[in-house]
Structure 1
Amino acid sequence: MRTLRPRELLVVSLCAGLFTMALKTLAWYLTGSVGFLSDAMESAVNVAGAGFALWMVSIAQRPADLSHPFGHSKAEYFSAAFEGGMILVAAIAIFITAFERLLNPQPIAALGVGTLLSAIASLINLCVGILLVRAGKHYKSPALAGDGQHLLTDVWTTAGVIIGVGLAAISGLNWLDAAVAMLVALHILREAGHILVSAINGLMDKALPKEQNDQLQQTLDALCTQHTQTLPDTITPCAAPPITFCQLRTRGAATQAFAHVNLQVPGTWSVTQAHQLADIAEQQAATLGIQLIVHIEPACM
């Protein structure tokens, strides 16, 4: 079975979001529950987020050009920031609506049908959310991962709403409906914070994960050892190692990884010799999914 690409996955997310939003909106219309209303509003955020993510992923996949020589992959972080902002707005709107209903409680109708519709919507979100989170890790895509995490959060939100609305209907304490909606607002507000922090870290050129960084460093160290063994003992008159990769710096940009390192070689080497070693390092880094730039300088000045 063919693996779906990021754009195709986001189309699936968008279609699922439209369907679940319709189900949850119908659940709110039938029951009049502000808890179900809050759930429907969060689904509207899912739809907006998936649509914006699809746009940003399309931009991120554009090849490098004169204006953007390092590519467009950072566009995905704008998707995460947009979704976080949308969740923030939805949380505020839900809280205001719920507070008004807390002051003026109303009975809940057609609870069984509304609960069934919300449960079906939640099951769809669970399946799509798991799919997107796994794909986000596979493609190292913050847009996919952020959208998937939001959908999984929505599953827990729906479960809380169903429990709260059910308790309100059974006990006759209609204010519980509004209280649950306010808790939902606080919950998704926390989720908005996580998404925004993740987007900001990406835009601030955060270093690659330690595991990936260590893997690159080990590859470079192995190259140093291999080529140093081929040198005569008197190749350099100073105490510094004759061949060294030093001052490694890395950064992640959504699906892309970049690194810069200094390569110190014996002063007696020709430009061709140093360049050949630099090419080997860049090629081996590419097999790790990292675009490496090597700066060459003599080991002893």
Structure 2
Amino acid sequence: MSLGIGAPPSSIGRGVRRIAMATVAVAMLVLGLKYVAYALTGSVALFSDALESVVNVVAGLVALWAVHVSYIPADNDHPFGHHKAEYFSAVLEGVLIVLAALLILREAWFAYLEPRTLEAPALGMAINGVATLINAAWATFLIRKGRELRSPALNADGRHIMTDVVTSVGVLAGLLLAIATGWSILDPALAALVALNILREGFKVVTNSLSGLLDQAIEPSEAEEMRQIISAHADGALEVHDVKTRAAGRATFIEFHLVVPGKMTVADSHCICDRIEDALQARFEDARVIIHVEPEEEAKQTGVPVL
């Protein structure tokens, strides 16, 4: 058996934590701008936009905690590390998104019962527009870094903020229409649409995170690439079977059985395992590889022949 455990460079952990801290700062800035826009106009649609930013601040703080925990080295109580802490963060963020949507629906209903006249709409929408541009730039950065660093917390934050951007654009467009037509009913209607969109995004965030908590296998395209890497570096072995994978944040756990000729020495089979491990770890960041070596006489099932 051969086991490869590679801890992520500390510089990566520090980088992710810095991004998480910056996310909180950006969320607080955007929240301040959006609240000012709401206070100037009294628009329930802009209130809904500001309320989602409150969720962004809370979610950013939770993500910061989760990222810190996920980079704590493995210990006796957690020998496989703490990578899944980020999934808990993403699940909590999804729950907060749903809660925000319900609060927005409540405000939209009251505004529908008692329509409000918008005050200083141009200035309020201009301020909200600046906040939306800041959000768009930061969300794009978070999604890119989340994928690059394989951080579920950063990726979930980026996806949520991008949803905020889309809804903000819709709110601004709708308010322009409300001003042009004089239909005050459009304000609570827009807020309700924002809430429904937020509910949809919250559902997606929760389900994606639960898949990670339930040890979902890696993507089919990655699994195929993994098999090709094993085949290309397993010269001297006969076949591979019982391949299992799971993703836990940035870590990828790979386990399989490697069948070798019965007369092969332990040293030779160990060399094959080392080659495979090195190749897999070069492709999959923080790969944890477990290989069970079997002599061909005792192999219990037919697997994938090594080419």
TM-score (norm 1): 0.91
Shift of 1:20: 0.7
In 2, Cα distance between equivalents of 1:294 and 1:44? 47
C-alpha distance in structure 2 between counterparts of 1:170 and 1:199, whole Å = 42
For 2:47 and 2:88, the matched residues in 1 are separated by 28
Report matched runs for 1:198-277 at 5 Å. 198-224=208-234, 226-227=235-236, 243-277=238-272
Q: Is the 2:242–2:256 contact (alpha carbons within 8 Å) kept by the matching residues of 1?
A: yes
Q: Does 1:15 align with 2:15?
A: no
In the other structure, the counterpart of 1:235 is: none
- Residues 117 and 184 in structure 2, CA contact (< 8 A), matched pair in contact too: yes
1:195 is matched with which residue? 205
Task: Please give the alpha-carbon distance, in whole angstroms, between the structure 1 residues aligned to 2:115 and 2:233.
Answer: 71
- Say whether the 8 Å CA contact 2:30–2:53 is kept in structure 1: yes
Q: CA deviation at 1:275?
A: 2.3
* Alignment partner, residue 305 of structure 2: none
One-letter amino acid of the counterpart of residue 291, structure 2: V
**Counterpart pick for 2:296 among 279, 295, 299:** 299
CA–CA separation in structure 2 for the residues paired with 1:282 and 1:123:
44
Maintained 8 Å contact 2:233/2:279? no
1:177 equivalent to 2:158? Answer no
Does the CA contact (< 8 Å) of 1:107 and 1:169 recur in 2? Answer: no
Consecutive unaligned residues in structure 1, runs of 5 or more = 229-242
Alignment partners' CA distance in 1, 2:63 and 2:210: 16
Once the two structures are TM-superposed, the CA of residue 270 in structure 1 deviates from its matched residue by 2.6
Between the aligned partners of 1:155 and 1:274, the Cα distance in structure 2 is 54
1:116 Cα offset (Å): 0.8
Partner of 1:63, secondary structure, is: coil
Q: 1:239-267: per-residue Cα shift (whole Å, max 9, x none)?
A: xxxx2222211110011101001011122
Aligned match of 2:72 in 56, 59, 62? 62
Instruction: Give the C-alpha shift of residue 146 in structure 1.
Output: 0.8
Q: In structure 2, what residue type is equivalent to 1:43?
A: S
**Separation (CA, whole Å) in 2 of partners of 1:127 and 1:172:** 33
Q: Deviations over 1:68-112 (max 9, x none)?
A: 111111111011101100000000000011011111101110101
Q: For residue 33 of structure 1, report the CA deviation from its aligned partner.
A: 0.6
- 1:71-220 pair list within 5 angstroms: 71-220=81-230
- 1:31: which partner in 2? 41
Q: Percent identity?
A: 37
Structure 2 counterpart of 1:254, one-letter code: G
- Relative contact order: is structure 1 or structure 2 higher (C-alpha 8 Å, sep ≥ 6)? 2
Secondary structure at 1:300 match in 2: helix
Amino acid at match of 2:295: P
TM-superposed deviation, 1:142: 1.0
> In structure 1, how many angstroms separate the alpha carbons of the residues matched to 2:131 and 2:169?
11
Please identify the structure whose Cα radius of gyration is greater.
1
* Maintained 8 Å contact 2:150/2:249: yes
Taking structure 2 as the reference length, the TM-score comes to: 0.89
- Secondary structure of 2:216's counterpart equals coil
- Name the SS for the 2:196 alignment partner: helix
Q: Extract unaligned runs of 5+ from structure 2.
A: 1-10, 299-307
Secondary structure of 2:29's partner?
A: helix
Count of residue correspondences: 285
Partner amino acid for 2:279? Q
CA distance in structure 2 between the aligned counterparts of 1:194 and 1:187, rounded to whole angstroms: 11
| Contact 1:285–1:291 under 8 Å retained in 2 | no
Asked whether 1:286 is paired with 2:281, we answer yes
Within 2, Cα distance between the matches of 1:110 and 1:259? 59
Stretches of 4+ moved more than 4 A in 1?
A: none
SS at match of 1:260: strand
Q: CA RMSD in A?
A: 1.5
